[in-house]
Chains A and B, each alone.
Chain A
Amino acid sequence: MAEHTRAGSRSLPRLLMSPAVITLFLWMIVPLVMTLYFSVMRYNLMQPEQTGFVGFENYSYFLTDPDFWPSIWNTLILLGSVVLITVGFGLAIALLINDPFPGQGLVRILLISPFFVMPAVNALLWKHMMMNPVYGVLAQVWTFLGLKPIDWLTDYPLFSIIIMVSWQWLPFACLIFMTALQSMDREQLEAAGMDGATYFQKLWYLYLPHMARSISVVVMIEVIFLLSIFAEIYTTTSGGPGNASTNLAFLIFKQARLSFDIGVASAGALLAVILANIVAFFLIRMIGKNLD
């Protein structure tokens, strides 16, 4: 690629990259080192007189917390369910509205709107107006159908969070899939139709391979944002009841802000970094080749 670089200015690309690389590196390394330091110290805001090196005590405290493994599971279940729901329904909706029909433009606008709603509003809207067991819309629907209204956030806390987060991210998946579908090769589809291919054959052999890259993009972006879902849990269930909807991000928050234990929270944060790296490792192996 040397010939693409300006003669005598091979350092120019490096110079142009450096602001982004250096700021990001600092943004990552400074908090990381400080977190590492805090994680081996006794550092509780409620007991400022107690300080000093404690080795791995904070880690073992965090790891043996009965909420630890449930929080890992909740993180992964939340991530997996939302990705499956949004990619599945996103593909279905995108295929449904791909061909022109009356009001296509308006349907598109209605569909994508939830993506622009801030997580705090999303959570409050669902918590109060949709899922309230007495006044909520869902309770009214259940009563109308002759069923007993469900207390969503108490009885199905994690599932409720999954609904809220999916509602937000489904439009994102739809948007990307809709755009990808518009570049499908029409002639190829018609030729397949001439040859008597069924809809599902077309779906499997033509649509899905064409969509592989955009599916990878959706999964990648969603994983980045969903690993650390916070606002929805904070505003609705506060991780409860018990630990039923506590994910790793919220457990760390509980240690830092509710127990004021910065040492233990920092140990948790480093464990979260490890989890993120494990997920990233598998993710890149699974879909990395599609992202070229």
Chain B
Amino acid sequence: MQSSPNTNTTRLLIRTLVAWAVALLLFFPLLFLAVTAFKTEGQAIAVPSLWVFTPTLENFYEVQARSDYLTYAWNSIVTSVVSTLLGLLIAAPAAYSMAFSPTKRTKDILMWMLSTKMMPAVGALAPIYVLYQYASLLDTKFGLIILFTMSNLPIMVWMLYSHLKDIPHEILEAARMDGASLWDEFRHVLLPLGMGGLASTGLLCLVLAWNEAFWALSLGAAKAGTLATLVASYSSPEGLFWAKLSAASLMAIAPIIVFGWFSQKQLVQGLTFGAVK
């Protein structure tokens, strides 16, 4: 049942065209944002939209001058990186023991962990606010780090568990037979085999922490504000503001998008939660 080469070529052509059309359609809003960031405010709201114009960097200077982009960016980097590392440190041992010494309750514990994520964060706002005020953690990077770590922890445990579960027990047993200590086992067996899982879990949580808006806005407004707070401060200014809003947005999302492009292969492997054998 081989189709003739001619229909095959036609099919490939159609498939290519449709795929590109879909991809460009979904990417279009981001392209529009990126282009608007280089326009003047007047050009930004021109109807029909301008696609040929002299690009200006004015908006980026103005955003930096008005809100000190680098401080926000630094806060974003510190909170997302530290919370991810801290989360991995707590989640990895738990995932290890769930994967290699499962008990009857392992599944229940996993489900319970995931269920803690289903409560809307806003429901915990009042208690957390009171506690943070008491502990002087309001508007500190450390306070945000704790929150990001805790809200990503369930997903981290789950992702790492699905990865480690796929490592054959025999490998560990063979290492033990050879008299490997727990440290050897960790360094020479688990770490190399689990590296992919650790990397992809870390990548996802980095993205989630970077993009977190609710806690960052509620608890980290002034000194510890992340890029999400920077963007929010451009949400409803007076007058013409599309170009500056676009510039601020682009500055907030560009680092993580570029990071995502480079790490997509690794990220995908982790996101499948062992769904792909």
Contact = CB atoms under 8 A, between A and B. Distances in A.
B194 to A, nearest CB: 14
A24 interface: yes
Contacts of A112: 260, 264
28 contacts: A6-B182, A23-B153, A24-B153, A34-B131, A35-B127, A103-B16, A106-B23, A109-B261, A110-B26, A113-B30, A116-B257, A118-B227, A119-B213, A120-B228, A129-B32, A140-B48, A172-B271, A175-B264, A180-B272, A223-B118, A227-B118, A228-B119, A230-B120, A250-B122, A256-B126, A266-B123, A266-B126, A269-B126
Given A96-B19, A114-B30, A118-B227, A248 B120 contact: yes
Interface in A97-120: 97, 99, 101-104, 106-120
Nearest to B15: A101
B213 A120 contact: yes
Interface in B250-269: 252-253, 256-257, 259-261, 264, 267-269
Contacts of B48: 140
Given A113-B30, A116-B253, A140-B49, A27 B22 contact: no
Interface in B18-57: 18-20, 22-24, 26-30, 32-33, 36, 45, 47-49
B119 A12 contact: no
Interface string B120-136: 11111111101100000
Contacts of B126: 34-35, 38, 256, 262, 265-266, 269
B15 A24 contact: no
Interface string A225-264: 0011011000100000000000011101100100000100
B260 A268 contact: no
A179 B259 CA distance: 20
A186 interface: no
Interface stretch (B67-75, B95-103, B137-145): B95-103
Nearest to B28: A137
Nearest to B46: A135
Q: Is the interface of A mostly helix, strand, loop or mixed?
A: helix
Interface string A197-223: 000000000000000011011001101
Given A93-B22, A112-B264, A31 B127 contact: yes
A63 interface: no
Given A19-B94, A31-B123, 19 more contacts: A19-B90, A24-B150, A31-B124, A35-B124, A38-B127, A110-B27, A117-B253, A118-B231, A119-B213, A125-B33, A130-B29, A134-B47, A180-B276, A217-B272, A230-B120, A269-B123, A276-B118, A280-B115, A288-B111
Contacts of B64: none
A253 B121 CA distance: 10
A118 B253 contact: yes
Given A1-B102, A24-B153, A135-B45, A96 B18 contact: yes
A24 B154 contact: yes
A-B pairs with lowest CB-CB distance, top 10: A269-B123, A228-B120, A13-B97, A20-B94, A276-B118, A16-B93, A118-B211, A34-B127, A249-B120, A13-B101
B102 to A, nearest CB: 6
Nearest to A170: B26
Interface of B: 1, 12, 15-16, 18-20, 22-24, 26-30, 32-33, 36, 45, 47-49, 90-91, 93-94, 96-98, 100-103, 109, 111, 113-128, 130-131, 150, 153-155, 157, 169, 172-173, 176, 182, 207, 210-211, 213-214, 227-228, 231-232, 234-235, 242, 245-246, 249, 252-253, 256-257, 259-261, 264, 267-269, 271-273, 275-277
Nearest to B267: A175
Contacts of B91: 20
Contacts of A224: 114, 117-118, 155
B163 to A, nearest CB: 13
A288 B107 CA distance: 10
A30 to B, nearest CB: 7
Most buried by B among A5, A34, A118, A273: A118
A110 B272 contact: no
B103 to A, nearest CB: 7
B127 A21 contact: no
Nearest to B101: A13
Nearest to A135: B45
Contacts of A107: 19-20, 23
B22 A179 contact: no
A50 interface: no
A60 interface: no
Nearest to B259: A116
B15 A231 contact: no
A54 to B, nearest CB: 16
Contact of A176 (B93, B228, B272): B272
B117 A253 contact: no
Contacts of A35: 123-124, 126-127
B84 to A, nearest CB: 15
A34 B128 CA distance: 9
B119 A193 contact: no
A101 B12 contact: yes
